Structure 1
């Protein structure tokens, strides 16, 4: 093995380990909170799914990449490659969908209290589970088309366009035009990112109005500490910003690889960037969520975890 492959295996193993550590902590937090009997916030339903699918993204991307860079390139057959790629693609799509759902829900929650918005907030809370199930169904259905393009490394190399990940290959000579395939796969993601950016802009506008209103009436005692809704909105904005930055870079690599023959380093960079958000998002949530700080040292004390 060369020094580059050893370095890449270390990078992917560290990324996977650190990401799984952060996501496992949050899963532990939500599970203990549920079984202890504390009431979960509506937003926690989305966060639990986001943490879970991010963990699966890291498992089904980081581990194969680490093994491939260690020299184990034929450890998956065709069915194994299809399974690994399908689960990874579904969970990656769900990570985008849940982040989009999170930003939309928070944009509704932060609106000023009024009868109209109170009714809208109530409907949004009741719609979380149906919307989540719809996201799962669409991602499971949409990514079926990926199965026909995935083969093990023993497959024929005579295809016109092949994207090799070391342990599996993506075929380019399928019945669907490669450009059309890229558009169909990328379009839902681009729509979700567009919605996230719009929702984030709306939340920033509301936060700016709130800041000006508080400043005008000189409520220094209230402005010194942000309300739970404001802090939650700031957390969502930071999470969305992290996602958009990593996704934009990864999307550029993804688009280039499907229109040009990519070099190995480009494939490795794309794989690394694709796992950055699942890795760092958990630490963004841990650092920003006051409930995690309060409940970490005393789940058994009811008063500690009250919202």
Structure 2
């Protein structure tokens, strides 16, 4: 085993362990409060889906790459290769959707915080929940294409029409098929990214207006502490900006691999590494910025009632 492969294997192993522990730790606390009949915020429900998607992404990208770089390259059969890439693509799409709907949910909360119609908020929350489930279904459908195009390295004698992707093969196709393939996979993601950007822009505008309004208020009446809504909004904006950054890096690397006839070894590894960045960082970002999570983890107290 070469030193570079060993270092990559240890890097994938470290990211996988950190990502799994961080996401399971946060998921445990949300499930605990849900089972003890604690009323979760609408954004917490979406966060639970995001955390589950993160866990699936870390497992499907981190574990196979770790095993491969530690010397076990040809232990995956066809079905394992198909399932790993299928589940990873579904979880990646669920991660995009959950982050998008999380920003939409928070944008609605702060935009209509003075709107006292409970039926409106109930309908909005139901719509967001339906959208989250629909997003899972759409990506389950579009990602099924991996059952056709993925092959195991073990048992495939002819590699003429196969492209090496670390521990599996991907079937090469003509340029027209590549374009249709890219549209099928990236179409829903582009729509969700557009929704995410719109919701984030709405939140930024609302926060700016609130800040301008506070400047005209008397200092004796204005609180020096940020409101819970403002704190949660800033947390979600930080989460969204982090996601967009890592997603852009991952998408660019993935695009180069898809276009190239024989992608380089380093570029293929960058795809796997970039896919692990957001799922690994996400739980710690939430725990360090979100008041509810951090207050429990740091002081071991119950969350304040909303």
TM-score for both structures, normalised by structure 1: 0.92
Would you say how many aligned residue pairs link Structure 1 and Structure 2?
A: 303
Match of 1:250 in 2: 250
8 A contact 1:57–1:92 mirrored in 2: yes
**Unaligned 5+ residue runs, structure 1?**
none
8 A contact 1:38–1:305 mirrored in 2: no
8 A contact 1:214–1:223 mirrored in 2: no
Match of 2:45 in 1: 45
Question: Which stretch has the larger CA shift, 290-299 or 101-110?
Answer: 290-299
Aligned 1:1-307 pairs, distance under 5 A: 1-115=1-115, 120-154=120-154, 155-160=156-161, 162-173=162-173, 177-219=177-219, 222-260=222-260, 261-296=262-297, 297-298=299-300, 304-307=303-306
1:179 is displaced (CA, Å) by: 2.3
Question: Which stretch has the larger CA shift, 126-135 or 266-275?
Answer: 126-135
8 A contact 1:149–1:174 mirrored in 2: no
What secondary structure sits across from 1:37 in the alignment?
coil
Deviations 1:270-307 (A, max 9, x none): 111111111111111111111113333445x5xx5423
8 A contact 1:19–1:280 mirrored in 2: yes
TM-score for both structures, normalised by structure 2: 0.92
8 A contact 2:166–2:269 mirrored in 1: no
- Compared with structure 1, are the counterparts of its residues 74 and 214 closer, same or farther at alpha carbon in structure 2 (3 Å cutoff)? same
Cα distance in 1 between the residues matched to 2:160 and 2:212 = 61
Question: Which stretch has the larger CA shift, 100-109 or 176-185?
Answer: 176-185
Cα distance in 2 between the residues matched to 1:294 and 1:224 = 19
**Unaligned 5+ residue runs, structure 2?**
none
8 A contact 1:250–1:273 mirrored in 2: yes
- Compared with structure 1, are the counterparts of its residues 181 and 3 closer, same or farther at alpha carbon in structure 2 (3 Å cutoff)? same
Deviations 1:26-68 (A, max 9, x none): 0111122123332111111100110011011101110000011
- Compared with structure 1, are the counterparts of its residues 132 and 234 closer, same or farther at alpha carbon in structure 2 (3 Å cutoff)? same
8 A contact 2:94–2:136 mirrored in 1: yes
What secondary structure sits across from 2:231 in the alignment?
helix
Deviations 1:187-222 (A, max 9, x none): 221221222122111111111110010011134664
Question: Which stretch has the larger CA shift, 197-206 or 207-216?
Answer: 197-206
What secondary structure sits across from 2:75 in the alignment?
coil
Cα distance in 2 between the residues matched to 1:129 and 1:199 = 16
